[in-house]
Structure 1
Amino acid sequence: MLTNMKRLLIGRPLKSAQAGDQKLNKLKALAILSSDALSSVAYGTEQILIVLATVGVVAFWYSLPIAIGVLILLLALILSYRQIIFSYPHGGGAYVVSKENLGTNYGLIAGGSLLVDYILTVAVSVSAGTDAITSALPSLHAHNVAIAVVLVMIITILNLRGLTESATILAYPVYLFVLALIVMVIVGIYHIATGAVPATAHTPVGTSVTGLSLFILLRAFASGCSALTGVEAISNAIPNFKSPQARNAATTLIMMGSLLAILFTGVTFLAYWYGVGPKGDETVVSQIAAETFGRSYVYYFIQGTTALILVLAANTGYSAFPQLAYNLASDKFMPRMYTMRGDRLGYSNGIITLGVGSILLIIAFGGQTENLIPLYAVGVFIPFTLSQTGMIIKWVKEKPKGWIPKLTANLIGALITLTVLLIFLITKFSQVWAVFIFLPLIIIMFHRIHRHYRDVGDQLRLESEQPPIPIEGNVIIVPVAGMTRVVENSINYAKTLSDQVIAVYVAFDREDEKRFEEKWKQWQPDIRLVTLHSQYRSIIGPLTKFIDTASNKAKESNYWVTVLIPQFITKKNWHNILHNQSSLLIRAYLLYRRNVVVTTVPYRFKK
């Protein structure tokens, strides 16, 4: 039943040879890897205006030079990540760049920041999309958390079905959103050019603003930089592209950067010209669309696609998180299960981890994840800064042909991203202080995992200095609960392994002990029986004590002790709840005993 349900939701397994069919072309990759960056257009301009509104409407004209600053940073990031794509074509982005050029710990900081950021991406994006849905349908507002959780589950299942299938389904809303905003920008500029929008609706550029400080401008700039979240995703997911992977990834990055620049510039310009400001009950994009088209079907189309893109922005995380987890696991900083492909050739464990983590975050914050946005932005700008700095060191060390322009681009990018990061940390410390706790904890966790794998490797290596201890013989201990066919089956099997077989019976009273010994002599006279008395009705305590004693004695003679546990297998799974599971408890207790081998002998019921 579970298998059939899995096949229905995820689809039939794919052969390993079909991995190439799961690669993305440029158009599908643009949709699936750029949804986070493109969706930020829906709130990037608004974040700038929210800060400027603290001074007054007269300060809104500053959104134009601030937008130019954001575009300069976007250009620096696009150039930098394009260089990263060609320099590190196997993916990994900021993690690989930082690790190789700045050191392991810096790489782990970048990787850990991005892992947490992708979980935040899913939680924040889906919650924002849910708010858009419930705003249109107020009767559903009480069910925000449930709707958000269901949406995460749907996106998780789509991604478990494979990259190409999820990209095919999710590409349409992304491109509809891009089309809707381009149409809105073009029509809005046409209205401005034809004089349909009065010039008195906005404050003229250059108007003097009292009370405006450099600190407020820097805060507005930092808030506007939230429009750049998701730019790094393509560099993390290069292996998901069709060949030539690096070239296709670089082209897709430029396409994404161009679309983001056009949409962000257009929305910011229209917001300024229309004199639109932030409102508690209506977004800036909604106000622009209403001014441009009225409350027509086009307006609702724009709002609908905006809600969809906010939800689907989560899909960028589903593409980048598993690949980044794979890179960390390949370097033995995360569990190896993240290197394994699932039935549909995706890194299913990474996809499931991301889905579960974001659901827990949504539930913990009751679907109100607005307070996570600054933390989300900090999680992006830490790897931004580290990757730019790493590339600076790479160019200085290697000095390839034409390295000066590349160094300049990375230097400018590093200075700007560091500035934005510091502004976030200073101005929004009350919302981002958690980064100083969870990042060190993540780094410690990475190192402990790595140390474990290193220790395991040392102990498994054949060239170990400790020679193997020769095995002289084997003592078989069979715990028995009675005289049944299950026990008989196990005793017969034990005889084939060794001539030293000991049956052990734990009795709760002396009379039962004597009766069992007498019956055993008649039933299995050639097998030694040891009876143990338990005053507190515990099987585990006396049994493990006896096995430990036997193991210590056997060790002196280079003998091994094998505990052979009889286990009956019921025909139907639900029958198991009708029987005690003492064999499972015994096995669990003995697995960590040194010099003891635990073996189960199954006896299958026919009815």
Structure 2
Amino acid sequence: MFSYLKRLLIGRPLKSNELGEQKLNKTKALAILSSDALSSVAYGPEQILIVLVTVGAAAFWYSIPIAVGVLILLTALILSYRQIIFAYPHGGGAYVVSRDNLGVNPGLIAGGSLLVDYILTVAVSVSAGTDAITSAFPALHSYTVPIAIVFVLFLTTLNLRGVTESASILAYPVYLFVLALFILIGVGLYQISTGQVPADLHTSVGTPVAGISLFLLLKAFASGSSALTGVEAISNAIPNFKDPAPNNASKTLMAMGGLLALLFSGIVYLAYYYGITPSVKETVVSQIADHTFGRNYMYYFIQGTTALILILAANTGYSAFPLLAVNLAKDKFIMRMFTIRGDRLGYSNGIITLGVSAIILIILFKGQTEHLIPLYAVGVFIPFTLSQSGMIVKWIREKPKGWVSKLIINATGALISLTVTLMFFFTKFPQVWPVLIFLPIIVIIFHKIKTHYELVGEQLRIKPDQQPKTIEGNVIIVPVAGITQVVENSINFATSLTDQVIAVYVAFEREDERIFEEKWKKWQPNVRLVTLHSHYRSIIQPLTKFIDTVQHKANENNYQVTVLIPQFITKKSWHNILHNQSSLLIRAYLLFKRDVVIATVPYRFKK
């Protein structure tokens, strides 16, 4: 049943040699890897206005110069990450760049920050998309959490089906969103240029505003910079591109930067000109669409595509999180299970982990994750800063041809990224302080995992001068609960291996002990039986004491002790609840005893 359901949801398993078919072309890659960055157009301008509205609507003209600053930062980041793509064509992004050039700990800070950020990407994007739906249909407000969870489950299932299949499906909504916003911006600018929009809805650029301060402007700029989350995703996912991967990734990055700049600029300008005030009940994009078209089919088309892109922005996390996890797992900083490809050749453990973590966040914050956006943004700008700083070190150390211009580009990116990061801490400290706690904890956990793997490797490694351990013989202990076909099957198997077989019976009553000994002598006179009396009705305690005694004597004679556990297997799985699971308890308890081999002899029922 489970296999059928899995095949229905995920599809047939793919052969390893079909991996090449799972690579992305530029068109699909732009959709699947840029959805996070492009979707931020729906909330980035709004974040600027939310800060400025604290002074008053007259301050909204400051959104124009702030938007120019965000575009300068975007340009620096796009050029910087283009260089990273060619310098590190195998992917890895900020983690690999920081690790190779700044050291292990900076690399782990970048990697850990991005892992958490991709989880936030899914939670915030899906929640924002759900908000867009509830803005259009207010009756659905009370169902925010269930709707968000359904979307996360849908995206998780879609990504488990494979990269190309998810890209084929998700490309349409992304390009529809881009088309919808270009129509919105184009019609809005046309109405403005033809005088259909009153000019008194906004204050003129340069109008003095009482109460404005540099601190407030920096806070608004930092908030607007949240529109740049997701810019790094392409550099992390270079292995997903068709060959030549670096060239295709670079072109996709430049296309994403151009689209993001145009859409962001257009939305900021329309919001300013229309005098849009941010509202809890309706998004800025919704208000712009309402002013431009009214509540007609175009309004719902824009809201629908906006909701889709916000939800599908989470797919950037699904594309980048597993690949980053693979790099960390290869370096033994997280579990090796993240390096395993699933039936559809995707890194399914990473995909499932990301989906489950996002659902937990959505439930904890009841779908209202908008106050996580500053934490989400600072989680990106820390790796931005580290990766650009790492590239500076790389160019100074290697000095390749044209390294000075490359150094200037990365130095500019590093300086601006560091400035924005500091702005977040200075202006939004109450919201971003958890970064100072969870990042060191994550780095410590990474090192603990690495230490564990190194210790395991040391203990597994066979040394050249190591003498092989010889075993003179084997003592097999068979716990028995009665005289049955199951026990007979196990005893026959044990005696076929050695003549040192000891059957052990634990009795709760003296009379039961005597009766069983008499039956055993008649049934298996050639196999030694040891009966143990349990005063406290425990099977495991007297059994383990006896095993310890035998083990001590066996070690003196260089014998191996094996505990052979009889286990019957019912025909139907639900029948198991009708039986005591003593064999499972014994096995689970003895599994951690040193120098004892635990083996199970199954006996399968036919009825």
Specify if TM > 0.5.
yes
Decide whether the 8 Å contact of 2:508 with 2:534 is kept in 1. Answer: yes
Distance of 2:116 and 2:465 partners within structure 1? 41
SS at match of 1:40: helix
51-60 or 501-510: bigger deviation:
51-60
Distance of 1:123 and 1:137 partners within structure 2? 21
Aligned partner of 1:394 in structure 2 is 394
**How far did residue 56 of structure 1 move?**
2.2
Aligned partner of 1:518 in structure 2 is 518
What amino acid is aligned across from residue 535 of structure 2 in structure 1? Q
Decide whether the 8 Å contact of 1:49 with 1:60 is kept in 2. Answer: yes
Aligned partner of 2:559 in structure 1 is 559
SS at match of 2:532: strand
465-474 or 589-598: bigger deviation:
465-474
**How far did residue 465 of structure 1 move?**
5.5
SS at match of 2:43: helix
- Is 1:42 matched up with 2:42? yes
Decide whether the 8 Å contact of 1:95 with 1:387 is kept in 2. Answer: yes
**How far did residue 276 of structure 1 move?**
2.3
Distance of 2:368 and 2:188 partners within structure 1? 33
1:553-579 deviations in Å (ceiling 9; x for gaps) = 111211100101111111111111111
Distance of 2:275 and 2:601 partners within structure 1? 79
Aligned partner of 1:145 in structure 2 is 145
SS at match of 1:89: coil
126-135 or 312-321: bigger deviation:
126-135
Distance of 1:510 and 1:271 partners within structure 2? 88
Aligned partner of 1:217 in structure 2 is 217
1:136-177 deviations in Å (ceiling 9; x for gaps) = 223322221111111110111011111111111111111000
Decide whether the 8 Å contact of 1:469 with 1:558 is kept in 2. Answer: no
Aligned partner of 2:53 in structure 1 is 53
Question: What does 1:81-160 correspond to in 2, within 5 Å?
Answer: 81-160=81-160
Aligned partner of 1:347 in structure 2 is 347
64-73 or 466-475: bigger deviation:
466-475
Decide whether the 8 Å contact of 1:42 with 1:285 is kept in 2. Answer: yes
What amino acid is aligned across from residue 407 of structure 1 in structure 2? L
Aligned partner of 1:10 in structure 2 is 10
- Is 1:410 matched up with 2:426? no
**How far did residue 466 of structure 1 move?**
4.5
Aligned partner of 1:436 in structure 2 is 436
Decide whether the 8 Å contact of 2:135 with 2:282 is kept in 1. Answer: no
1:106-138 deviations in Å (ceiling 9; x for gaps) = 111111111111111111111111122223223
Decide whether the 8 Å contact of 2:136 with 2:303 is kept in 1. Answer: no
Distance of 1:475 and 1:601 partners within structure 2? 16
Decide whether the 8 Å contact of 1:80 with 1:388 is kept in 2. Answer: yes
**How far did residue 364 of structure 1 move?**
1.0
- Is 1:594 matched up with 2:594? yes
Aligned partner of 2:538 in structure 1 is 538
SS at match of 2:154: helix
Aligned partner of 1:76 in structure 2 is 76
SS at match of 2:529: strand
Decide whether the 8 Å contact of 2:156 with 2:352 is kept in 1. Answer: yes
**How far did residue 22 of structure 1 move?**
0.9
Please, what TM-score do these two structures have when normalized by structure 2? 0.98
**How far did residue 294 of structure 1 move?**
2.5
Please, what TM-score do these two structures have when normalized by structure 1? 0.98
166-175 or 135-144: bigger deviation:
135-144
Aligned partner of 1:161 in structure 2 is 161
Distance of 1:405 and 1:198 partners within structure 2? 47
**How far did residue 193 of structure 1 move?**
2.3
Decide whether the 8 Å contact of 2:215 with 2:427 is kept in 1. Answer: no
What amino acid is aligned across from residue 94 of structure 1 in structure 2? A
**How far did residue 469 of structure 1 move?**
2.1
Aligned partner of 2:477 in structure 1 is 477
**How far did residue 90 of structure 1 move?**
1.0
Distance of 1:490 and 1:7 partners within structure 2? 37
SS at match of 2:561: strand
Aligned partner of 2:568 in structure 1 is 568
199-208 or 368-377: bigger deviation:
199-208
Aligned partner of 1:275 in structure 2 is 275
Question: What does 1:175-254 correspond to in 2, within 5 Å?
Answer: 175-254=175-254
SS at match of 2:478: strand
Decide whether the 8 Å contact of 1:568 with 1:602 is kept in 2. Answer: yes
Distance of 1:200 and 1:147 partners within structure 2? 40
1:478-522 deviations in Å (ceiling 9; x for gaps) = 111111111111111111111111111101111111111111111
Aligned partner of 2:170 in structure 1 is 170
What amino acid is aligned across from residue 546 of structure 1 in structure 2? F
What amino acid is aligned across from residue 348 of structure 2 in structure 1? S
Decide whether the 8 Å contact of 2:125 with 2:310 is kept in 1. Answer: yes
**How far did residue 366 of structure 1 move?**
1.2
Aligned partner of 2:460 in structure 1 is 460
Distance of 2:465 and 2:363 partners within structure 1? 52
**How far did residue 434 of structure 1 move?**
1.4
**How far did residue 64 of structure 1 move?**
1.3
1:377-435 deviations in Å (ceiling 9; x for gaps) = 11111111111111111111111111111111111111111111111112222112211
Decide whether the 8 Å contact of 1:458 with 1:464 is kept in 2. Answer: no
Distance of 1:464 and 1:195 partners within structure 2? 86
RMSD: 1.2
Aligned partner of 2:28 in structure 1 is 28
Aligned partner of 1:356 in structure 2 is 356
Distance of 2:290 and 2:465 partners within structure 1? 77
Aligned partner of 1:295 in structure 2 is 295
Distance of 1:141 and 1:54 partners within structure 2? 26
Distance of 1:140 and 1:183 partners within structure 2? 27
Distance of 2:434 and 2:93 partners within structure 1? 24
Distance of 1:367 and 1:153 partners within structure 2? 15
SS at match of 1:547: helix
Distance of 2:493 and 2:522 partners within structure 1? 20
Distance of 1:149 and 1:218 partners within structure 2? 35
Decide whether the 8 Å contact of 1:333 with 1:450 is kept in 2. Answer: yes
Identity fraction in percent: 75
1:522-569 deviations in Å (ceiling 9; x for gaps) = 111111111111001100001011111111211121110010111111
What amino acid is aligned across from residue 320 of structure 1 in structure 2? A
1:186-238 deviations in Å (ceiling 9; x for gaps) = 22222222232333332222222232211111111101100000111111111
1:289-317 deviations in Å (ceiling 9; x for gaps) = 22222322112211111111111111111
Aligned partner of 1:316 in structure 2 is 316
Distance of 1:130 and 1:292 partners within structure 2? 23
SS at match of 1:476: strand
Aligned partner of 1:447 in structure 2 is 447
Distance of 2:265 and 2:600 partners within structure 1? 68
**How far did residue 372 of structure 1 move?**
1.1
What amino acid is aligned across from residue 153 of structure 1 in structure 2? L
Decide whether the 8 Å contact of 2:375 with 2:431 is kept in 1. Answer: yes
- Is 1:307 matched up with 2:297? no
**Count, aligned residues:** 607
Aligned partner of 1:66 in structure 2 is 66
Distance of 2:466 and 2:585 partners within structure 1? 33
1:433-490 deviations in Å (ceiling 9; x for gaps) = 2112211111111111111111111111122664332111111111111111111111
What amino acid is aligned across from residue 594 of structure 1 in structure 2? R
What amino acid is aligned across from residue 456 of structure 1 in structure 2? V
Query: CA separation of 1:134/1:202 partners in 2, compared to 1, >3 Å: closer, same or farther?
Result: closer
Distance of 2:350 and 2:279 partners within structure 1? 38
1:354-377 deviations in Å (ceiling 9; x for gaps) = 000001111111111122111111
Q: Which runs of 5+ in 1 are unaligned?
A: none
Query: CA separation of 1:138/1:291 partners in 2, compared to 1, >3 Å: closer, same or farther?
Result: closer
Distance of 1:487 and 1:61 partners within structure 2? 85
Distance of 1:510 and 1:280 partners within structure 2? 76
Query: CA separation of 1:416/1:396 partners in 2, compared to 1, >3 Å: closer, same or farther?
Result: same
**How far did residue 347 of structure 1 move?**
0.4
SS at match of 1:562: strand
